[in-house]
Amino acid sequence: MSPPTNSVSSAEPPRIGLERRKPRYGEKVIIGLLAVCAAVSVAVTVGIVFSLVGPTVSFFSEVPLTEFFSFAEWSPLFADGEFGVFEIVAGTLNVTLWAVVVGLPLGLGSAIYLSEYASPRVRRILKPTLEVLAGVPTVAFGFFALTFITPILSDIWPGFLGDGPSIFSAGAAGIAIGLFILPIVASISDDAMTSVPNSLREGAYALGATRLKVATRVVVPAALSGIVASFVLAISRAVGETMVVLIAAGNSPNLTLNPAESIQAMTAFIATTATGDIGVGTLEYETIFAVGALLFVMTMIMNVFAIRLVRKYREVYE
Amino acid sequence: MTTAVRKTQDAAREATVAKLGQIPTGDRIRGLAFKLLVLTSAILGVAGLLALIIQSGVVGAERLNLDLFTQGPSSLAEEGGFLAGILGTLFVIGGVLVTAVPLGIGAAIYLEEFAKKENWFNRLIELNIQNLAAVPSIVFGILGLGLIVRGPIGLGGVAFAGSLTLALLVLPTVILASREALRAVPTSIREGAMALGATRWQAVRHQVLPSAVPGMATGSILALSRAIGETAPLLLVGAAVFVTANPDNPFEGAYTVLPVQIYNYVARPQEEFQVLAAAGIIVLLIVLIVMNSGAIWLRNRFATRW
Min mean pLDDT across A287-301, B106-120, B162-176 is at B106-120
| Cβ–Cβ gap A30/B236 under 8 Å | no
Residue of A39, A47, A140 with shortest CB distance to B52: A140
Q: Which residues of A touch B133 (CB under 8 A)?
A: 233
B270 contacts chain A (CB < 8 A)? no
| Cβ–Cβ gap B139/A24 under 8 Å | no
pLDDT digits (tens, 9 = 90+) for A238-274: 999 999 999 998 888 888 888 888 889 999 999 988 8
* Nearest of A90, A84, A81 to residue A71 by alpha carbon: A84
Residue of B136, B229, B274 with shortest CB distance to A240: B136
Listed ranges A164-178, A254-268, A274-288, B26-40; the one with the highest mean pLDDT = B26-40
Yes or no: say if B173 and B196 are a contact pair by the CB < 8 Å rule: no
Q: Provide the 3-class DSSP secondary structure of residue B168.
A: helix
Q: What sign does the dihedral A175-A90-B168-B206 (CA atoms) show?
A: negative
DSSP 3-state helix, strand, coil percentages of chain B (rounded to 5)?
75, 0, 25
B263 contacts chain A (CB < 8 A)? yes
CA distance B38 to A219: 14
Q: Which residues of B touch A299 (CB under 8 A)?
A: 134-136, 139
Yes or no: say if A88 and A74 are a contact pair by the CB < 8 Å rule: yes
| Cβ–Cβ gap A120/B3 under 8 Å | yes
Q: Provide the 3-class DSSP secondary structure of residue B249.
A: strand
Buried b or exposed e, range A95-104, using 16+ CB within 10 angstroms: bbbbbbebbb
| Cβ–Cβ gap A136/B288 under 8 Å | yes
Residue range B67-302, CATH number: 1.10.3720.10
| Average pLDDT across chain A, whole number | 85
- The secondary structure of residue B237, as a DSSP letter, is T
Q: How many helices (DSSP H) and strands (DSSP E) are in chain B?
A: 13, 0
Report, as an integer, the average pLDDT of B47-58. 90
CA distance B15 to A91: 56
Q: Which residues of B touch A184 (CB under 8 A)?
A: none
* Nearest of A282, A265, A261 to residue A77 by alpha carbon: A282
Q: Which of A52, A131, A132, A285 to mutate to test the interface with B (most CBs of B within 10 A)?
A: A132
Residue of A137, A146, A233 with shortest CB distance to B259: A137
Residue B38, pLDDT score: 94
pLDDT digits (tens, 9 = 90+) for A112-146: 999 999 998 998 888 888 888 888 899 999 999 99
Q: What angle do CA A38, A41, A43 make, to 5 degrees?
A: 110
Yes or no: say if A243 and A138 are a contact pair by the CB < 8 Å rule: yes
Encoded amino acid at A105, one letter: P
Whether residue A92 has pLDDT greater than 90: yes
Burial of A243 (0-12, 13-18, 19+ CB in 10 A): buried
Listed ranges A68-72, A140-144, A207-211, B244-248; the one with the highest mean pLDDT = A140-144
Domain ranges of chain A: 86-313
Domain ranges of chain B: 67-302
Q: Output the CA–CA distances (angstroms, integers) from residue A285 to A108, B67, B153, B236, in the order listed.
A: 41, 39, 18, 11
DSSP letters spanning chain A: -PPP-----SSSPPP---S-SS--HHHHHHHHHHHHHHHHHHHHHHHHHHHHHHHHHHHHHHS-HHHHTSSS-B-TTSTT--B-THHHHHHHHHHHHHHHHHHHHHHHHHHHIIIIIS-HHHHHHHHHHHHHHTTS-HHHHHHHIIIIIHHHHHHH--GGG-SPP-SS-HHHHHHHHHHHHHHHHHHHHHHHHHTS-HHHHHHHHHTT--HHHIIIIIIHHHTHHHHHHHHHHHHHHHHH--HHHHHHS-S-------TTS----HHHHHHHHHHS---TTSHHHHHHHHHHHHHHHHHHHHHHHHHHHHHHH-----
Rounded to two decimals, the pTM is 0.85
Under 8 Å CB pairs connecting chains A and B tally to: 304
Q: Output the CA–CA distances (angstroms, integers) from residue B244 to A4, B117, B152, B228, in the order listed.
A: 82, 52, 29, 21
Yes or no: say if A103 and A95 are a contact pair by the CB < 8 Å rule: no
Q: Output the CA–CA distances (angstroms, integers) from residue B275 to B50, B81, B268, in the order listed.
A: 18, 11, 11
| Cβ–Cβ gap B45/A107 under 8 Å | yes
Min mean pLDDT across A95-109, A199-213, B290-304 is at B290-304
Length of chain B: 306
B203 contacts chain A (CB < 8 A)? no
Burial of A2 (0-12, 13-18, 19+ CB in 10 A): exposed
CA distance B21 to B28: 13
The band of A11, judged by pLDDT with boundaries at 50, 70 and 90, is low
Min mean pLDDT across A102-111, B64-73, B203-212, B229-238 is at B64-73
| Nearest chain A Cα distance for residue B194, angstroms | 12
Architecture of domain A86-313: Orthogonal Bundle (1.10)
CA distance A109 to A121: 19
B160 contacts chain A (CB < 8 A)? no
Residues with Cβ < 8 Å from A311, sequence gap 6 or more?
Answer: none
B128 contacts chain A (CB < 8 A)? yes
